[in-house]
Amino acid sequence: MIIDAVSVFPEMFEPVMSTSILGRARRAGLFEFHAHDLRDWTHDRHRTVDDEPYGGGQGMLMKVEPLAEAIEAIAAEGPRPHVVFFTPCGSPFCQATAERLATYERILLVCGRYEGMDERAYAFADERISIGDYVLTGGELPAMVVADAVIRLLPGALGDEMSNRDESFSTEDDGGLLEYAQYTRPAVFRDMAVPDILLSGDHAKVDAYRRADAIERTCRWRPDLIDAASLTPEERDRARTLIERYHGRQTSETE
DSSP-assigned beta bridge partners for residue 36 = 6
Instruction: Say what the pLDDT of residue 156 is.
Output: 97
The reported pLDDT for the residue numbered 255 is: 44
What is the mean pLDDT of the segment spanning 88-111? Answer: 97
Beta-ladder partners of 108:
4, 83
Instruction: Return the pLDDT at 26.
Output: 98
Output the pLDDT for position 170: 61
Q: Which residue has better confidence, 170 or 71?
A: 71
Of 230, 249, 229, the closest CA to residue 241 belongs to 249
Q: How large a percentage of the chain has pLDDT more than 70?
A: 91
The rounded distance, in Å, linking the Cα atoms of 221 and 30 is 35
- Residues shown for the chain: 255
- Average pLDDT for the chain: 93
**Which of the pair, 162 or 218, is modelled with greater confidence?**
218
Residue 171, pLDDT above cutoff 60: no
Residue 116 is predicted with a pLDDT of 93
Residue 253 clears pLDDT 70, i.e. is over it: no
- Determine if the peptide bond prior to 186 is cis (ω within 30°): yes
Domain boundaries, the chain: 2-151, 164-254
Q: What percent of the chain has pLDDT over 90?
A: 89
User: What is the reported pLDDT for 59?
Assistant: 94
Instruction: Render pLDDT for 75-89 as a digit per residue (tens, 0 to 9).
Output: 999 999 999 999 999
In tens, the pLDDT along 58-74 reads 899 999 999 999 999 99
Rounded Cα gap, residues 169 and 92, in angstroms: 14
Which residues touch 192 (CB under 8 Å, ≥6 apart)?
none
Q: How many CB atoms lie within 10 A of CB 91?
A: 11
Residue 254 is predicted with a pLDDT of 42
Which CATH code is given to the segment(s) 2-151? 3.40.1280.10
Task: Output the CATH code of domain 164-254.
Answer: 1.10.1270.20
The secondary element (H helix, E strand) that includes residue 164 is: none
Give the pLDDT confidence of 102-151 residue by residue, as tens digits. Answer: 999 999 999 999 989 999 999 999 999 999 999 999 999 999 999 999 99
Q: How far is CA 227 from the centre of its chain?
A: 21
pLDDT of residue 56: 92
CB 76 within 8 A of CB 108: no
Residue 58 burial (10 A CB sphere; 0-12, 13-18, 19+):
exposed
| Separation CA 99–CA 112 (nearest Å) | 24
Task: List pLDDT tens digits, range 172-193.
Answer: 556 789 999 999 999 999 999 9
The pLDDT, as a whole number, for residue 175 is 78
